[in-house]
Amino acid sequence: MAWPSREALSREGKTRARWMLSWLVRVVVITVLLWTAITQRDVPGWAVAAAPVGLVIASVAAWGFFRTTLEHRLWPSLGILAVLFVLAGLAQTIGFLAPAVVLWCGCAVTALERLPLIAAVPVTGVALAAFALTNDDSWISTTAVAVGLCLSGYVLRLDAEARGSAQRLLVQERAARKAEAESAALAERSRIAREIHDVLAHSLSAQLVHLEAARILIERGADRDQILERVVAARGMARDGLDETRQALSALRGDLTPLEDFLRELVASSGGATLTVQGERRPLSAEASQAVRRVAQEALTNVRKHAPGAKAALRLEYLPEEVALEIRDSGASGPQGELTVSGAGYGLLGMRERAELLGGSLEAGPCEEGFVVSLKVPV
């Protein structure tokens, strides 16, 4: 008993063919009405002269009915239908039977199409009753026409509702796509911010610490070797940070080398490390691939820093729903001194946060021989 939706009552979403057909029907109806009024001989001359005025009033009233129903205003819509009923009654009284029949039938069909059924049913009943009194055909043909008009109005209503539903779904789909695009843009911005933070923040802060230490040593008159040691450490961090920045930019552009190739190069450059790959190879997302690369770099750097002479073993395993990386070392076999050369500057805490953001986990701790780092990232 509710109103048809605004999308169903509006012209939005109509195809060009449907729009042209509706205008063609209007032009034909208006032409027939004018032709009937001009050629009819058994009506007074003043009535023929007033017929165009009545046609204009009916057209304006029809336009107003379409507007008020679009705005879901019931009483103005019923008032406009009453004006059309009066015009139809006057046309029938004067002798314009064809225009009267068109108005009665048009009001019956349009009421069923655009009004709530609780109001459309009585309006249609009145219009069809007036049509039955006007029509001189047999009651069988009159009944058939009335039933056909009711079916036509209700079918038009259902068609408009279907079109309105499709229009609403289209609007919702566009809104969902827009929200999805905005979400993807925010996710990409977050990824870029993480890369910048991971690559630059720690590296620059570590460089600043060593440079500040060099300044203090200079002020205290320390010997040249101590100062040079700090400057060389800062330079090494700057070089490593630059390399990491280039790798991060390549990752953001999607120009990453295959993960296995990267790990092999990393193992070959570290010396004394081995790599084992298990499971069915599959492409990883840029975030997951970067997390594996960063953890491998950080773990091997920690082995060099904290366990001199240790042998490191990397194992990359492709599981059904995740990829796992394990870095295990054999423990320190050489003397440990002051660390003068640092790696990329990333701590395992930052790597754990990166893994958790991806829905994974990172565990690190001592094992029987040395130290083990285990990363799991969903694929």
Residue pair 131/108 in contact (Cβ under 8 Å)? The answer is yes
Secondary structure of residue 284 in the 3-state scheme: coil
User: Over the stretch 205-236, which tens digit does the pLDDT of each residue have?
Assistant: 778 888 888 889 898 888 888 889 888 888 88
Nearest alpha-carbon partner for 379 in 297, 300, 304, 291 = 291
pLDDT tens for each residue of 246-287:
766 766 666 567 888 888 888 887 777 889 999 888 888 877
Task: In whole angstroms, give the CA distance from residue 244 to residue 307.
Answer: 23
Which of the four pLDDT bands, split at 50, 70 and 90, describes residue 113? confident
CA dist., res. 96 & res. 55, Å (int): 12
Greater pLDDT, 191 or 73? 73
> Does residue 162 have a pLDDT over 90?
no
pLDDT of residue 343: 43
What's the length of the chain? 379
Residue 78, pLDDT score: 92
Residue type, 133: L
**What's the confidence (pLDDT) of residue 104?**
85
Model confidence band, residue 344 (pLDDT cutoffs 50, 70, 90): very low
Pick the CATH number of 257-379 from 3.40.640.10, 3.30.565.10, 3.90.550.10, 4.10.520.10: 3.30.565.10
Instruction: Look at residue 177 in the predicted model and tell me its pLDDT.
Output: 92
Computed over every residue of the chain, the mean pLDDT equals: 80
Q: pTM score > 0.95 for this model?
A: no
What is the per-residue pLDDT across 23-76, written as a single tens digit (0 to 9) for each? 677 677 667 656 665 565 566 666 667 777 887 888 899 889 989 988 889 899
Mapping DSSP to helix (H, G, I), strand (E, B) and coil, where does residue 373 land? strand
Domain ranges within the chain, ordered by starting residue: 6-136, 257-379
Task: Count the neighbouring beta carbons within 10 Å of the beta carbon of residue 109.
Answer: 23
Residue that has been written with the tokens 């655009």 in this structure: 114
Q: Specify the higher pLDDT residue, 333 or 125.
A: 125
The owner of tokens 């610490």 is 209
